[in-house]
Amino acid sequence: MAFFREGRKLNYAEVVETLSLLIKQNILTQLEAEEVYNLFLKLFSFTEGIVEHYLEATGYRVVHSKQIFLTAAKIKLVSDEAVWNKAIQVKNDIEAGKYPSAGKEMLVAFISEPYYQAMKVLEVNLESK
């Protein structure tokens, strides 16, 4: 999964910056529920891919999402394991069609605060390693 702007693939820092703008400009709340769900799935998939690539490049073998983020927590790449566990559960629920449209506000709140903060911590940790 990749994000593009003007035909150019964005790096992780640019995706975090773009999410910051979406939050600050209150754009997430203006999206339809399906758009919020799709955005979250793209964000999660992109972030998971970045973490998986880092782990594999440093010699770790990973098989599934839970293991990716458990390993990342053990090596201090991510800080709040509970946020990543919740993100995995939300992703699984959305993919299974279990996420009700009334859950949009909860998902916007999750993306806007704990998930965004966890992404920022990951960004800093990736840059320092």
Condensed to tens digits (0 to 9), the pLDDT of residues 43-101 reads 999 999 999 999 999 999 988 889 999 999 999 999 999 999 999 999 999 999 887 66
As a whole number of angstroms, the distance between CA 20 and CA 69 comes to 22
Residue ranges making up the domain that contains 59 = 4-128
Cα maximum dimension of the chain = 42
Task: Work out how many domains the chain is built from and give that number.
Answer: 1
- CATH code for position 25: 1.20.120
Report the pLDDT value the prediction gives residue 10, as an integer from 0 to 100.
76
Q: What tokens were used for 44?
A: 């999660």
Determine the pLDDT at residue 98: 86
CA 85, 88, 93, 94 dihedral sign is positive
Q: What is the pLDDT of residue 121?
A: 96
pLDDT of residue 107: 95
